[in-house]
Amino acid sequence: MRLAGLVLALALLSRPAAAVEKRALPDYDGRGPGPGDGAWWAPRIALFPLWLVSEYVLRQPIRAAVRPFDRNAAEAGDNARDRWDLRPILQFDVGFRPRVGALVVGNDAFTTWRFRADTWGPASFGLASSAAAEVGRSSFEVYTDLSRRPDTLFHGLGPRSTPDARVRVPLDRGETGGRFTAAPHPALLFATAIAVRGARFHVPVERDYVAFVQRIALTVDARPIREVGLSVPKELARGDGVRLELDAEHAGAPLPNRRWLAWGGRIRARLELYRGRLLEAAATARFVDPLGTGDPPYLEQATLGGDQPLRGHLAGRLFGRSALAMGISYRWPVWVFLDGFVTVETGNVFGAHLRDATPRLFRLSAVTGIRNTSTSGYVFEILGGFGTEPIADGARVSSGRLLFSATRAL
C-alpha cells in the first residue's frame, strides 16, 4: 500500500500544470476598445521622444506641485459644505511683477465666503472678498475687488498699435457690487449685476473715473451633461456640442460725464476625437459704443491678450472700440487631472463696429502648455507662446508669453 501511494503521488506531481488563463483587463472607464486601437502603435513609436519629454520633464516634476492646488472638495465627505479651505496663489507672467498670496474659502449650510490676497511689495497687491448664498438653482453674491498694479501696459488704440508705443501705467482699480445668477434649465444660465467700478491713474494717460455699471448676461449651453470619473458622487462634465455666451453692460461715469454700452458674445464648439483628445473652436466679438460726447476710458474698451483671446499677447497689448477673434484648440490627456493644449488664434481690435476689419489687419497668436482639468474653478497652468503684428505689416513676432499660474477666480 505504501508503495502504491508513493507511485500515485509521483504520478500526480509529474503531470504538467494546467494552463492558467490571464484575467482580462476590466473596462474601468466604460468605453470599451476603440476603433483602430491597434493602429496607434506607429504614431506612438514616432512620438516616443516627445513622450519622454512630456513624462520626465513635465508630468513627473509638476505632479507634486499640482497636488495641493487640485484637491477634490469631496475629500471632506458629508461635511463638504461645512469646511474651510486654504490654497496658495502663485502667478509668474513674464513682463509683469509676480503675484504671491492665498485664497481662503469657507462654507456653511447656506453661504460660501471667499477672501483673497496677493502681493509683491507695497506697490503691487490685490485684495478681494465675496459672500454668496445659494437657493436651489439661483445664487446671490456681494463682492469687492481692489488692486494696485505698477506695471500695466498700454500701447494705444486700434489695430496697428506698435510695441514702440508701449507705456507702463501704474494704476489702482476697484469694483464692488452684487450679482444674481439663475439656471432655470441645465442648458440656460442667466446673470445680472449692479456695481461701482473705477480707476486712478498714476501717469497722465487717462483721467481718473468712477462708473456705475449694470450688466446682464445669458449663456445657452447645448452640450449634454454626463458623469465622469469613478468618484461617489460622480463628477459632472459637459460633452460635445455648442456653447453661446451673450452679454451687455451699461456704464456711466459722472466726473467727467461719460456713458457707454459694452456688448458682445462668444460661441464655442467642442468635439471629442478619441479618448479625451478634444478639438475646440471659438469665435469672439466685442463692441463698445459711447452714448454721450466723451469716449469711454481705454480700460473699458474691447481688449485682447492676457486671459482674453489672442493669449500669445500680454494683457493690455490690444485695445479698441471693437474686437474680433477666432481660433482652434487641441487638448490631450497628460495625467489624471492634467491636459496639454495647443491653441492657434487670429483677430485684432478695430474701430467702431469692426470698421476697417480686414484679414490683412489680423494678428496671429499661438500658445501651448499644460492646464488642470478640475471643475472646482482653481486653475493651474503653464503656458508659453507668441503673438505677431498684423499680416499687412509682415506678421512678425512682436510679443512673447511665458506664464506659470496657480490661481482661482474670486
- Domains, the chain, ranges and CATH? 86-408 (2.40.160.50)
Q: What is the model's pLDDT at position 376?
A: 62
Q: What percent of the chain has pLDDT over 70?
A: 76
The CA distance from 209 to 154, in Å, is: 17
Asked if the model's pLDDT at residue 2 lies above 50, the reply is: yes
Q: How big is the CA angle at 75 (ends 73 and 78), to the nearest 5 degrees? A: 90
pLDDT at 44 over 70: no
Q: Give the lowest-confidence range in 185-189, 234-238, 242-246, 273-277.
A: 234-238
Q: pLDDT category, 410, cuts 50, 70, 90?
A: low
Q: What angle do CA 12, 17, 21 make, to 5 degrees?
A: 150
Residue 309 has pLDDT above 60, yes or no: yes
* First-to-final CA distance of the chain: 86
pLDDT at residue 5 in the model: 57
Q: What is the mean pLDDT of the chain?
A: 84
Distance CA 96, CA 168 (A): 10
Q: Report which of 284, 288, 329 is spatially closest to residue 309, judged by C-alpha positions.
A: 284
- String of DSSP letters for 11-67: HHHHSPPPPPPPPPPP-TTS--SPTTGGGGHHHHHHTHHHHHHIIIIIIHHHHHHHG
* Contact (CB, 8 A) for 85 and 105: yes
Confidence label for 225 from pLDDT (cuts 50, 70 and 90): confident
pLDDT band at residue 294 using 50, 70 and 90 as cut-offs: confident
Q: Residue 72's pLDDT is what? A: 45
Q: How many helices (H) and strands (E) does the chain have?
A: 4, 20
pLDDT at residue 395 above 80? yes
Largest CA distance in the chain: 118
CB 337 within 8 A of CB 331: no
